[in-house]
Every structure is written in C-alpha cells, then in structure tokens.
Amino acid sequence: MRPGDLIEFKRGGLVSAVLGGLLKLFERDWDGWGWHVAIAWERTYNGWYILEAIGPGVKTNYYSDATLKARTRSYHWLDKEPTVEAMGQFLQTHIDRAYDVAVYFWTGLAIIIRHYFNRPIPKLLDQRFCCWELAAEFFADMGKPIVSKYDVIIITDILRAIKARPTRIAYGERG
C-alpha cells in the first residue's frame, strides 16, 4: 500500500446490510464484500493513518497493520503517488468537514432510479462528505477522477472504475 491508495473496509452494520442488499439485487457482479472506503494517508512503523469520512466528520485515524490486514483491501488508482503538497492542501481544505448523513437516503434513491430508469441522479453540491464522496473528490483533485462530481456516487462506481487488483490479497478475502 502507498499514500493515496483507496482502502475498502469489510462491510458490517445495519445500514450497509440494508443498502448493500438493495444494491446486490441490481448489481449481481458486485461481490458485496466492502462498503466503507478511505484513503491511505501516512505510513507509520506498524500501521497507517488514513483519511476517512465517518460520523464525526472528515478525520485522519490510525489503523494497525493487523487491523488493516483483517478488515480491508487496498487498490492503486493513481498512476503515481501524490505529492506531499497536494495531499496537504487536500487535507487542509477537507479535515473536520461534516459527515453527509443524507447520503443514505440519496444512495437508496440513486440505486433504484439508476437501475429502473437508467438515469443517474444529481449530487447536491454541498460541503458535507460521506466516505465515497470524499474518495471521489480526492481522486478528482489528484487529477484522476473516478466519476462526474455531479452524480451521486455508489461504491460500485468506485470499484468498477478502479478495476485493479488489491495491492495485497491478504488485506481481506474475496467473496
């Protein structure tokens, strides 16, 4: 894993079970393994600081190598490691931003409308972030967008776009 890699966390919890179950009805090729995503930020002696959008907002949190090995998969998306300056600027403008709790409603609606009417729904351009929105904005700011910033993003958009093998198969089992 390297700074700027996408980290996919194993799915767990009621919200991910409900919305993940709904998504699985329409996207049968999705393995359903993960739900939460974050960005590998800074390597330490025995773990990583990662940037993630969680309930309290956009934060950097520490995870040990053992935790990451047991609960995550990581992916290279960027062609080269982002510069310290670019990552610092992104962190400065996003840290402590509010979590986007409305995303759960919009995700459910986006799944249904996309698959029944074959149309994306527009994303509200606000300053709150869920983990998927934060990852999408990070990659766009680093010069390699995953999807349009105007569409509601779903985890399958991210995983389909990346189409890369995990950097370490041991970081979570497939299936």
Read off the pLDDT of residues 152-165 as tens digits, 9 standing for 90 and up: 778 888 888 886 44
Entry pTM? 0.82
**Mind listing the pLDDT tens digit for each residue in 113-165?**
776 777 666 655 556 678 888 999 999 999 998 877 777 778 888 888 886 44
Alpha carbons 82 and 39: distance in angstroms, whole number = 12
Q: Where are the beta strands (DSSP E) in the chain?
A: 6-10, 34-44, 47-54, 57-64, 72-75
